[in-house]
Amino acid sequence: MFTMTTTATETLPEAVARRLRGQLAEHRITQRRLGQLTGWSAMYISRRYVGETALDVKDLETIHAVTGISPAILLTGIDAVQQHSLLPRQDSNLEPSGLRSAHRLLCDKRFPNR
């Protein structure tokens, strides 16, 4: 589980690095494999892996392109796609809009005097 917060002693680059390590572990991608996929040197990856050097936007784009790991997860700890799919509908209609119309149409044809 990833957290959006950082500890009092953890900087944002360290938090992003922690999330990167967790995501790479979940995807079973080693630092060596990340280097092969991105073309980055071991030193380049190592400094970012521990948060010594901050990942920049291009780094996040590259990681996303080669691993599928969302920059949003690394920056916030929240998967924006999953978060969006869990949101309830904003209107009061709990059934798909087309279903109600189709039901009414079917009832009107079967029971015209209704």
List the one residue out of 77, 72, 69, 74 whose CA is nearest residue 4. Answer: 77
Kindly state the helix (H) or strand (E) to which residue 43 belongs, with its residue range.
helix 42-49
pLDDT of residue 90: 57
pLDDT of residue 78: 87
Kindly state the helix (H) or strand (E) to which residue 74 belongs, with its residue range.
helix 71-76
DSSP the chain: ---S---TT--HHHHHHHHHHHHHHHTT--HHHHHHHH---HHHHHHHHTTSS---HHHHHHHHHHH---HHHHHHS--HHHHHHTSPPSSS--S-HHHHHHHHHHHHHH-TT-
The model's pTM: 0.64
Domains of the chain by residue range? 1-81
List the one residue out of 11, 5, 3 whose CA is nearest residue 52. Answer: 11
User: Could you report the average pLDDT of every consecutive run of 10 residues in the chain (114 residues)?
Assistant: 61 94 95 96 95 94 95 88 52 52 54 56
Amino acid letter for position 70: S
pLDDT of residue 1: 43
pLDDT of residue 9: 86
Which CATH number applies to 1-81? 1.10.260.40
